[in-house]
């Protein structure tokens, strides 16, 4: 992650950034603070997607994206389960600890339930509906979208067993990654791990508070009682996260090699406070975001990625929304302007309009490129942020463009339309408008990855063969097969191609062929909104 800074002090990550270890491996993914201020060797390339981009069926993509969350379900599956190659799993989760932790989502192709990325997934699903819920409803997918959120929030309610106690992980990554089994056959550890007063986890508690607050707004119209329950948990979780401060990976050592909170917890505290302000309208939460803006890095760090770990760009864009919409008091304005400046650094970095050391690289085919491990998570999250921000600009009476610092004292403006065009181009790249002509949304289009790094998808369905498949047997009999997976994990967005648009569809190539819930979550609203625009455009062109 490239950073520029206008403040002194330590980086939010003074060491290497880590990403989830797959099969026991951990990837170091960013540089130290010292190198963040050096000219980038990977400056943005203004390479457009292929000129002959096909028209995409966004409604089909939307339907398929929501199927993916059913494939990732843990627990007792409902009667309406549409992904029929999955069955019940993890039915004793939490039993050893005397708590019911059945349910929730597996994060990727493994069977650990990691609380931090799961909560971020639910936050992004909820934000998708808050921005584009009417479009989801118009496409007939609102009920499925609500189910995808509720499957996560029902689990968080269970996991939040006391006001100052949150169960943050079920399963152990090390033992899980030694095995290649269907979730229905799991023999690996289902040890559960929690954060509490003595073992704090402000990052995971803060993100879960954000998820609950955002989801409470989604359910306010459809299920008011449930919305109130979610907000109650969100308020308690934020108070816990703020009062007992600490990184959850210092309290739960088992998560360090998989979802280490290298950015710290300050971004999650700001993020949660903004969502609580939006959910409650209480000034105290905006005061918190303004009063802690400098100390927590919200107005200091200019960030060029947005992810399950690094929330600063999302924080800054949410804060800029309040400025652009006038939802603030005069005392907040100056600080919100600073937040907006950092939000626009992120937008300009994606556009390639910043100085040379502050841009996101582009592949020759136009894909935003952050790093080799699961790069698509940054593509989909960027597409969503860019689209949301373009909407805030378009709706604002005070400003309709972004000002980018091009270096050498010069600046350049980018319109809301330009920002949105880049967002749409990233979505289209995912769907197949790329040099390979391949869709990275599994199950969509004529060509998509067939050997997704996913245990359940790569083994014969449980309903077809209930014969137990052992830990090593899965590797010997299924992982090594050269053919396509027997089950198509429809709606999954895989890690995707490298910086040169190259992609190897091999099951062992987990950096590129593993999918994660937080890759797809931002796309739910995007597909719905683009479906509406495509229909509008078709109507105009008739």
Q: Name which of 437, 436, 450 is nearest 492 in CA terms.
A: 450
Sign of CA dihedral 93, 95, 99, 100: positive
Angle of helix 330-351 versus helix 312-325 axis, rounded to 10: 130
Structure tokens at 200: 């704090």
- Whether 192 and 96 have beta carbons less than 8 Å apart is answered as yes
CA gap 525, 539 in Å, rounded: 21
Candidate list 111, 453, 454, 464, residue with the active-site label: 453
Bridge partner residues of 3 (DSSP): 303
Catalytic, 453? Answer yes
DSSP secondary structure string, 219-245? HTTT-HHHHHHHHHHHHHHHHHHHHS-
Structure tokens at 470: 């052992």
Q: What angle do CA 316, 322, 325 make, to 5 degrees?
A: 135
Chain-centroid distance, C-alpha 352? 22
Q: Name which of 455, 505, 461 is nearest 483 in CA terms.
A: 505
User: Three-state secondary structure along 137-196?
Assistant: HHCCCHHHHHHHHHHHHHHHHHHCCECCEEEEEECCHHHHHCCCCCHHHCCCCCCEEEEE
DSSP secondary structure string, 491-529? T-BB----TTS-----TT-HHHH-B-HHHHHHHHHHHHH
Structure tokens at 352: 């390639």
CA distances from 515 to 69, 108, 229, 511 (A): 11, 6, 31, 9
CA gap 330, 178 in Å, rounded: 56
Active site residues: 453
């Amino acid at each position: 992650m490239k950073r520029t800074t206008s403040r002194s002090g330590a980086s939010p990550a003074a060491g290497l950034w880590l990403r989830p270890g797959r099969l026991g491996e951990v990837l170091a993914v960013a540089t130290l603070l010292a190198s963040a201020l050096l000219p980038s060797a990977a400056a943005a390339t203004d390479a457009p997607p292929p000129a002959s981009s096909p028209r995409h069926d966004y409604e089909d993509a939307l339907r398929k994206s929501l199927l993916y969350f059913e494939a990732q379900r843990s627990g007792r599956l409902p009667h309406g389960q549409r992904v029929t190659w999955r069955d019940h799993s993890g039915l004793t989760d939490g039993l050893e600890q005397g708590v019911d932790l059945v349910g929730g989502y597996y994060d990727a192709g493994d069977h650990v339930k990691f609380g931090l990325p799961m909560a971020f997934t639910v936050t992004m699903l909820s934000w998708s509906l808050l921005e584009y819920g009417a479009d989801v409803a118009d496409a007939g997918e609102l009920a499925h979208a609500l189910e995808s959120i509720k499957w996560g929030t029902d689990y968080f309610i269970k996991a939040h067993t006391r006001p100052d106690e949150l169960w943050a992980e079920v399963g152990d990554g090390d033992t899980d990654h030694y095995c290649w089994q269907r979730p229905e056959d799991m023999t690996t550890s289902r040890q559960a791990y929690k954060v509490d007063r003595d073992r704090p986890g402000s990052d995971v508690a803060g993100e879960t508070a954000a998820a609950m607050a955002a989801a409470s707004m989604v359910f306010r119209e459809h299920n008011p009682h449930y919305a109130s329950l979610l907000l109650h948990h969100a308020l308690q979780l934020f108070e816990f996260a703020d009062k007992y401060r600490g990184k959850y990976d210092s309290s739960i050592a088992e998560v360090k090699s998989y979802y280490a909170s290298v950015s710290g917890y300050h971004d999650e505290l700001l993020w949660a406070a903004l969502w609580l302000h939006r959910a409650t309208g209480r000034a105290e939460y905006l005061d918190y975001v303004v009063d802690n803006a400098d100390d927590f890095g919200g107005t200091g760090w200019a960030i060029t990625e947005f992810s399950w770990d690094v929330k600063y760009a999302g924080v800054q864009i949410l804060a800029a929304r309040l400025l652009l919409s006038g939802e603030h008091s005069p005392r907040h304005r100056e600080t919100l302007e600073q937040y907006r400046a950092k939000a626009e650094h992120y937008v300009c970095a994606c556009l390639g309009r910043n100085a040379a050391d502050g841009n996101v690289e582009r592949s020759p085919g136009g894909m935003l490129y952050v790093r080799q491990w699961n790069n698509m998570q940054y593509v989909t999250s960027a597409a969503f942020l860019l689209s949301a921000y373009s909407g805030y600009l378009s709706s604002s009476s005070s400003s309709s463009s972004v000002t980018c610092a091009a270096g050498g004292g010069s600046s350049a403006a980018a319109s809301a339309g330009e920002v949105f065009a880049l967002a749409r181009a990233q979505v289209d790249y995912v769907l197949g408008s790329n040099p390979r002509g391949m869709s990275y949304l599994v199950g969509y289009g004529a060509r998509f990855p067939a050997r997704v790094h996913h245990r359940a998808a790569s083994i014969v369905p449980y309903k077809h063969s209930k014969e137990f498949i052992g830990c090593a047997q899965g590797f010997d009999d299924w992982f090594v097969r050269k053919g396509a997976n027997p089950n198509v994990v429809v709606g999954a967005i895989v890690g995707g191609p490298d910086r040169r648009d190259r992609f190897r569809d091999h099951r062992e190539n987990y950096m590129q062929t593993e999918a994660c819930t937080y890759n797809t979550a931002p796309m739910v609203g995007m597909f719905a909104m683009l479906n509406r625009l495509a229909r509008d455009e078709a109507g105009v062109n008739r």
